[in-house]
Chains A and B, each alone.
Chain A
Amino acid sequence: MRRLLLALAMVLAASPAWAERLVTQVSQDEVSITSSFAGQTLTLFGAIEPEVGAEQRFVEGPYHVIITVTGPLQNRVARRKTNQFGIWLNTSQAEFERFPSFYQVLSDAPLSNITDPITLAEKEIPLENQARYTAKAGWWDATVFGGELTRLMQQKGMFKLNENGVVFRSDTFYFAQVALPSDAPPGPYLAHTYLIKDGQVIAEKSDGFSVRKIGFERFLGQSARTQPLLYGLVCVALALFTGWLGGVVFKR
């Protein structure tokens, strides 16, 4: 008994006097892609609370929050066209392994005001870093193609930095909205929240949600992958039937 108390006392002594934890929630665990899917907005919200067992009853800011939302990982390639004999063709490329198909950074203030670049880079928060640590190429290609890949992903609307995406409703309660576009890739998504105070990351929290095709779309996508021969035969049968029906209906 005494040993237990001693252990407890040691734990209490080890934990800093001021410790915060994040309580977070995603508005939806699952985003369903139906036939009329035109994108969806998710709300991520959270509160900053004293650590369980900490002495203080309240927390004191000012706090900053950065949230990164990462979509399913894919192997990607970036290619560059050059003019050869008057024709533009792809001549060089760089591959990126397990590169996020979707990546958004949301924060309540410009990232440079929240913390220093080194901390951001350590946590691999900036958009450009996604390409840098997934590149399967030399340093030079990784830098050049990585930068261009990030730009292309931004153009597609898959990568985004939103420096006023997180809104504080009180000193300790915030929410953020993530807009998934209509061509958001299906798969597991991870929302990672960083709580920052005085430029230091003091708490982190991860939440997952998934984007899934459901019903008919899911059935189609799966059968194309698992039963390709049958799927192809059905496509052909459908085409033959449609063509025949058209001929019958219009009596050509």
Chain B
Amino acid sequence: MQVYLPIAELSMNLFFLVGIGGAVGFLSGLFGVGGGFLLTPLLIFSGVPSSVAVASVTGQVVAASTSGALSYYRRGQIDLHMALYLVLSGVLGAFGGVATFQVLRAAGQLDLVISLGFLILLGFVGTLMLIEAARAIMKRRAGIVVREKLPNQHNWFHGLPWRVRFKKSRLYISVIPVLALGVAIGFVGSLLGIGGGFILVPALVYILRMPGNMVIGTSLLQVVAMMAATTILHAVSSQSVDILLAFCLMVGGTVGAQFGASAGKYLRGEQLRALLAILVLAVAIRFGISLVMTPGDVYSTAVIGASGVI
């Protein structure tokens, strides 16, 4: 069944949209990530203009992360104080990201920056994750008990001025690294149409030394709030949020995520991380190939300014 997307101005198969939403939702439920980093490229590869894809996926990421954030909130596993700092700086970063998005779109370099961004970011994060997961798996094979690093070990940047006490995370650290992290995630997330959960979670653990039980919930809340802000910013500045496209993806994604979450119980943590790392690397390689390989057509065309001018 074809459904007409009013902002993308093209018809797409409803089952295809709900299907990729569901498939990505399954993976996001399985790995506990938003899934934006898979969905945006999938939409772009299936013919949706990249600006519409990025802007609409932000809406889908909000939906995908909401139910998770709510359940963590009920269990009291969100550090609201920390989340407030992250969100406020994240929105600031999102302003920058959306503005950059506009400039790049006008200059015709949006696709390049999206490809490069995905390649570098996913390649880097994917490699780190794969190494970490492989080590964990090998240690388990060798029978070594892995001890996590103590959360209260400090780095030099924790001692910067403007120290704030985060009661729930039992941290007394400078807000500067917190704010910097928020701005960076906000910028990258709004530019690439990804929630940034897969960057934020390791950053909270390894950089801010947040305790493990607070990390996922806080990161999910940050993703919800920041992607909500980004959706609104995209709607206002580029008017390329396709609510129908986003809704089709949301429906598939929310259902898929539930199945993914229950499937995730059958796999061990480091196995999951290794699989996620491989997935992330595969997407990165796909973007890398498209950048390096001779394109099928060196010419391309796009509409500039408001469409439908007469």
Query: Residues on A close to B: CB < 8 A?
Result: 33-39, 72-83, 86-90, 93, 95, 98, 101, 145, 148-149, 151-153, 182-183, 185-188, 213, 217-218, 220-221, 224-225, 228-229, 231-236, 238-240, 242-247, 250, 252
Q: In the complex, what residues of B have CB within 8 A of residue A218's CB?
A: 6
Q: Which of B1-22 contact A (CB under 8 A)?
A: 1-4, 6-7, 9-11
The answer to whether A232 touches B250 (Cβ under 8 A) is no
Q: In the complex, what residues of A have CB within 8 A of residue B239's CB?
A: 224-225, 228
Q: CA separation between A2 and B53, bound complex, in Å?
A: 73
Name A's interface SS: mixed
**Within the complex, what minimum Cβ distance (angstroms) separates A68 from chain B?**
16
**Within the complex, what minimum Cβ distance (angstroms) separates A77 from chain B?**
5
The answer to whether B301 touches A236 (Cβ under 8 A) is no
The answer to whether B228 touches A236 (Cβ under 8 A) is yes
Give 6 A-B pairs besides A87-B112, A220-B7, A243-B64 with Cβ atoms closer than 8 angstroms: A78-B300, A187-B308, A224-B6, A231-B235, A244-B66, A247-B68
Is residue B60 contacting chain A, with contact meaning CB distance below 8 A? yes
The answer to whether B257 touches A232 (Cβ under 8 A) is no
**Within the complex, what minimum Cβ distance (angstroms) separates A200 from chain B?**
31
Q: In the complex, what residues of A have CB within 8 A of residue B128's CB?
A: none
Is residue B155 contacting chain A, with contact meaning CB distance below 8 A? no
What are some 30 contacts across the A-B interface (CB < 8 A)?
A35-B4, A37-B4, A38-B11, A72-B308, A72-B309, A75-B309, A76-B303, A77-B302, A78-B300, A80-B298, A80-B299, A88-B293, A88-B295, A90-B108, A98-B309, A101-B308, A152-B299, A185-B307, A187-B308, A187-B310, A224-B235, A225-B239, A228-B236, A231-B243, A235-B241, A239-B228, A242-B247, A246-B254, A252-B67, A252-B71
Q: In the complex, what residues of A have CB within 8 A of residue B255's CB?
A: 246, 250
The answer to whether B298 touches A183 (Cβ under 8 A) is no
Determine which of B1, B10, B298, B305 lies in contact with A36 in the assembled complex, contact meaning CB atoms within 8 Å: B1
**Within the complex, what minimum Cβ distance (angstroms) separates A13 from chain B?**
41
